[in-house]
Amino acid sequence: MKKTVAIIFGGESSEYDVSCVSAANVAENINPDLFETVLVGITKDGKWWVFNGSTDDMRNHIWDTKQSLLTPAVISPCKAHHGIITFDGANGSFNIIHIDIVFPVLHGKNGEDGTMQGLLELSGIPYVGCNTYASAVSMDKAATKTICDEAGIPVVPFITATKNCNQSLLVQKCEDRYSYPVFVKPANAGSSVGITKAKNKQELIKGIELAFKHDSKLLIEPNIVGREIEVAVYGNQKPFASVCGEIVPNSDFYDYETKYISDAADCIAPASLDEATANNIRTLAIKVYNALGCSGFSRVDFFLTEDGAYLNEINTIPGFTPISMYPKLMACAGINYSDLITKLLSLAEGEE
Ligand SMILES: Nc1ncnc2c1ncn2[C@@H]1O[C@H](COP(=O)(O)OP(=O)(O)O)[C@@H](O)[C@H]1O
Ligand SMILES: [Mg+2]
C-alpha cells in the first residue's frame, strides 16, 4: 500500500522562497509508485493550508493566492490523529487526513530550528531529518561550534554576545583578538541574511546592529581565507558522507544575492581535492553529525585553509532543489534525486 507523505513548505523564515522551490521539486520527484503526497503550505505570516494546486504555483510563490485550492489545516499534536486536521469553513466541520511520514522542506526559523520538530514529536508521525535537540543546536552557530570544539573538531574561532551586552566592550574585544575584516553574523539565521563582512570599526558597529535585528545573539569571526567545502551526510546510527563539494562564490562572500538571485556562485561536485584531504573532511563531517546528535540528513560546511579544515556551520535541512549542493553530492554517490527522497523517508521511519 502506498504511504501518505505530507510535504510541508513555506514558513515564517527568511528562506521562504527557497523552501517553496525545494518543496515543489520534492513533490514532483517523489516516487509515485510508493507515495501519495499532501502539500501543506505555511504562509509568511504563519497560516497553514492544505494546497491542492500545482507545483508551478509553489515555485512561483503564488500558491497562497489560489483561494479555491486552499483548505485551512494543521498538523495535529494528538497521537491518535496521526495526521492533519482540515477545517471546512462553511459548516465548521473537520476531517482528519492520516499521514504516514512528514517531510518538512523548510529552512531556517520555525522550520529547521527544532520548533517544527517539536510539534512533529508530539504528533507521533515519523519525519525526515534531525530531532528537536539536534535541530536547535545546529541552528545556533555558537552552540554548534561549542559542542564540536568540545568533541575535538577544529572550528572557526568566534566571539559570541547577546543583545544586552556592552557593545563598546564587544568592539574592543573583537579588535584585540582579530584584525579586519571580520564577519558578524546572527547566531540563528541562514541564507547569509544579517551577515556583514566588516572592514573597519564603523562597519563592525553597523554589522552588530544588523545582526541583532535578526537574532538576540551574534557571532564575530575572523575572516577565514580558504576554500568553502561542503559534505552531504545521511543516516541514523551509521551515517554516510558524500564526496566533498566546493562553493566558489565569485563575489566578496557567499551572500544571499550570490546564493539565490544572481546565481553567480559555482557549486562544484566533486571538489578537486587530494584523496587524503577529502577523506579527512568527510570523516570530520561524520564527527560533526554525531557530536550534534544528527539523524536523517544534514549538510556540513567547512573552510579549507593552509592549516586544514575548520567547521563553519551545519544545515539540518539543506537546500533541496535538484541544483542544490546536497542532491548534487548525493548524485555523485550514484543516488538520484528521486531515490534520495525515498531514502530520507525510509530513514525517517527508522532505517539505520
Ligand atoms: N569567518 C568567515 N570567514 C570567511 N568567510 C566567511 C566567514 N563566515 C562566513 N563567511 C562567508 O559568508 C557565507 C555565509 O556565512 P555562513 O556562516 O555560512 O551563514 P549562512 O547560515 O547564512 O549560510 C559563507 O558561505 C562564506 O562565504
Ligand atoms: Mg552557510
Is the Cβ–Cβ distance between 258 and 264 less than 8 Å? yes
Residue 144, helix vs strand vs coil? helix
User: Is any atom of ligand 1 closer than 6 Å to the C-beta of 259?
Assistant: no
Give the model's pLDDT for residue 108. 87
Ligand nearest to the CA of 107: 1
DSSP assignment string, 164-201: TS-HHHHHHHHHHH-PSSEEEEESB--TTTT-EEE-SH
Q: Do domains 3-127 and 138-154+225-348 have the same CATH topology?
A: no
Topology, domain 159-222: Dna Ligase; domain 1 (3.30.1490)
Domain 3-127 matching CATH 3.40.50.20: the answer reads yes
The best mutation among 140, 182, 215, 253 to test binding of ligand 1, ranked by most ligand atoms within 8 Å of the C-beta, falls on 253
Give the residue among 319, 313, 276, 247 at the shortest CA–CA distance from 13.
319
Which residues of the chain are under the pLDDT cut of 50?
A: none
CA of 253 relative to ligand 2 center, distance in Å: 10
Rounded Cα distance between 2 and 32, Å, is 8
Amino acid identity at 302: F
SS3 content of the chain, % helix, strand, coil (to 5): 35, 30, 35
What is the spatial distance between Cα 313 and Cα 142, in angstroms, rounded to a whole number?
9
Domain boundary assignment for the chain: 3-127, 138-154+225-348, 159-222
Q: What pLDDT is recorded for position 249? A: 82
**CA distance readout (Å), 107 to 11, 15, 66, 111, 188:** 8, 6, 23, 5, 12
pTM of the model: 0.95
pLDDT of res. 73: 97
Architecture field, domain 138-154+225-348: 2-Layer Sandwich (3.30)
Please give the number of the atom of ligand 1 that sits closest to the Cα of 191.
22
Pairing verdict, β 296-305 and 308-315:
antiparallel
Whether the Cβ atoms of residue 40 and residue 9 lie closer than 8 Å to each other: yes
How far, in Å, from the CA of 300 to the mean position of ligand 2? 9
Tens digits of residue pLDDT in 226-275: 999 999 999 999 999 999 999 998 777 777 776 666 666 788 999 999 99
Tell me which ligand sits closest to the C-alpha of residue 257. 1
pLDDT of the residue at 312: 98
Amino acid of residue 160: T
Q: How far is the centre of ligand 1, averaged over its atoms, from the C-alpha of 17 (Å)?
A: 20
Q: Would you say the CB of residue 312 lies under 6 angstroms from ligand 1?
A: yes
Rounded distance between C-alpha atoms, residue 310 and residue 304, angstroms: 6
